[in-house]
Amino acid sequence: MLELRGLEAGYGDVPALSGVTLQVGAGEIVALLGPNGAGKSTLLGCVSGLVRPRAGTISWEGENLLAIAPHLIVERGLAVVPEGRRLFGSMTVEDNLELGAFSPRARAARRESLERVFALFPDLRTRRRQVVRALSGGQQQMVAVGRALMASPRLLMLDEPSLGIAPQLVRAILDALVEINRAGVAILLVEQNVRAALTLAHRAYILEGGRVVGEGAGADLLGDPHVRRAYLGPLAAGA
Amino acid sequence: MTLLAQQIVLGLLLGGLYGLAAAGLSLVFGVLKVLNVAHGELIMLGGYGAYWLFALLGVDPFAALLLVIPGALLLGAGLYTGLFGFVVRAPEETRIKNSLLVGFGLALALHALAVRLWTADDRSISTGYGGAVLTVGPIAIPLIRLASLLVALALIAGLHLLLARWRWGKAIRATAEDWQAALLTGIDIRRAYLLAFALGTALAGAAGTLVSVGYSISPSIGLEWTLKALIVVVLAGLGSMLGTFVAGLFLGVAEALSAAAFGGPYREVVGLVIFLVVLVLRPQGLFGRAPR
């Protein structure tokens, strides 16, 4: 479905990705793990068209994504929940969701999409007329996930959706991801919360210093000594 | 006392045009992050457009708005496609510098063009009803300026509705707030830029028409109007068109008051003082939001 090959990108002289190869299959949940500065956000930026890679290819269902104008990528069925949510803070929940369905294909289905988002996050229905800036971090994250879903994506990419959010809301958002995935949407999840991400994911890649240093099934990586030591802390390593 | 009240009323009437002039500049600055210093020249062109329609074809200046506004929309689309569309390709820091260069160049060219077409003389449109005055107690309100204020208010309200309700209006606001997020939701931001610039130019054209009927125009009024609009934008902050209009009224009254208190020459000074005070004390403006 999504296939990156030999992807290289950087900012000025600083390389952020050096030859990353990765696939996401239809209906899969794939986690992308790694420390800060490993290149995870850059990778999502490349796929969503905000960052121009220096080398390598990105293909989506056989089509070369790099040849498509950035605003048309969402039309192809890839939506992203960016790092820090990047909502339109001065607008209402409803306006933000509606803008998520801006492209023609998504607009045709926006009524059903809106109902689906409200079914997933009932909180948003009651707050639909509220200005986004006034919501809590967790509620804003729901709006951000909802906005991406409004595009009726077949692949949903999320950059640290649990960052800075109250623990009970993290649960709600991760549960929502499972439900979204059950409806057939593939998910590429960048996450700091490694344990939660690996429990959720079918497969995972570990990115360090702009390179893929490990990959495998979620459950296997959860038991891998290196992963346990590096990402789950010394207590987990001993357990 | 009566004299003062009269000055305040005249200040309000002029302030409405400041607000309208500033709305266009604010829209372009807020969305494209480009400072169009030729905005005053676009106002000047709008004024001459109405003047020509009146002098050559006998079109009433208020009716001329129906032609000037669409004409200015097209002119704006053309200017964006031919000039400012290249400026927005630069990263945001270099955009302002480039836009100043392009804007000053455009201002000079439009000024020279206007001198060529209409000479450097002051012009104004004098209609049959031009002298009509509404008298409220001791205060005389020139009807034409009152009508201009109402038209300006209606245009601002229309713009506000357009940005609040229209699909592309929302897209324009989204692009102003975060262009990368706008791109991620599938908005063609170049189109949002084009629309915002065209709308801004249309507002300038409308403002110019109203200036030519209640006041007077000459090829050299551009810089003065750019300056007034800039003061109002700084005073209001970005993001609220109604706030911009209110700030325009405020500047008009402040000018009238300072002229009354310190004499005519000080009329121009108060705006610059406001400009500095706002930048020092509240850089986001009265109605703007502080950056996070």
pLDDT digits (tens, 9 = 90+) for A151-209: 999 999 999 998 888 888 888 899 999 999 999 999 999 988 888 889 899 999 999 99
Range of the domain at B242: 20-247+273-281
* The predicted structure's pLDDT at residue B290: 66
Inside any domain, residue B191: yes
**From A48, A80, A88, residue closest to B174, measured CB to CB:** A88
* The predicted structure's pLDDT at residue A12: 84
Minimum distance, in Å, between the CA of residue B95 and any CA atom of chain A: 18
Q: What is the number of CB-based contacts under 8 A between chain A and chain B?
A: 61
Contact A82 B185 (CB under 8 A): no
State whether residue B53 sits within 8 Å of chain A by CB. no
**From B170, B186, B289, residue closest to A71, measured CB to CB:** B186
Contact A90 B189 (CB under 8 A): no
B239, B74 contact by CB (below 8 A): no
Residue A84: closest CA among chain B residues belongs to which residue? B181
State whether residue B246 sits within 8 Å of chain A by CB. no
A203, A218 contact by CB (below 8 A): yes
B227, B21 contact by CB (below 8 A): no
Minimum distance, in Å, between the CA of residue B160 and any CA atom of chain A: 14
Contacts of A89 in chain B (CB under 8 A): 177
d(CA B113, CA B120): 11
Contact A86 B171 (CB under 8 A): no
Inside any domain, residue B258: no
Structural domain count, chain B: 1
Q: Give me the domains of chain A, ranges plus CATH numbers.
A: 2-86+155-238 (3.40.50.300)
**From B177, B178, B185, residue closest to A100, measured CB to CB:** B185
pLDDT tens string B31-70:
999 999 999 999 999 999 999 999 999 999 999 999 999 9
* The predicted structure's pLDDT at residue B192: 97
d(CA B215, CA B130): 11
Is the entire prediction scored with pTM above 0.95? no
Inside any domain, residue B287: no
| Best of B31, B165, B173, B185 to mutate (most A CBs within 10 Å, chain A) | B185
Contacts of B165 in chain A (CB under 8 A): none
Contacts of B180 in chain A (CB under 8 A): 50, 82, 86
Inside any domain, residue B164: yes
**From B174, B183, B239, residue closest to A50, measured CB to CB:** B183
Contacts of B178 in chain A (CB under 8 A): 86, 88
Prediction ipTM score: 0.90
Strand order of the β-sheet with A2-11 is A14-24, A2-11, A55-60, A63-64
Q: Are strands A63-64 and A14-24 parallel, antiparallel or unpaired?
A: unpaired
Contacts of A98 in chain B (CB under 8 A): 170
A52, A78 contact by CB (below 8 A): no
Inside any domain, residue B263: no
d(CA B77, CA B80): 5
Inside any domain, residue B42: yes
pLDDT tens string B192-240:
999 999 999 999 999 999 999 989 999 999 999 999 999 999 999 998 8
Residue A78: closest CA among chain B residues belongs to which residue? B184
d(CA A128, CA A147): 12
Inside any domain, residue B65: yes
Inside any domain, residue B264: no
Average pLDDT over residues B276-286: 88
Least Cα distance to A117 among A104, A128, A130 occurs for A128
Band (pLDDT 50/70/90 cuts) for residue A239 is very low
d(CA A190, CA A156): 11
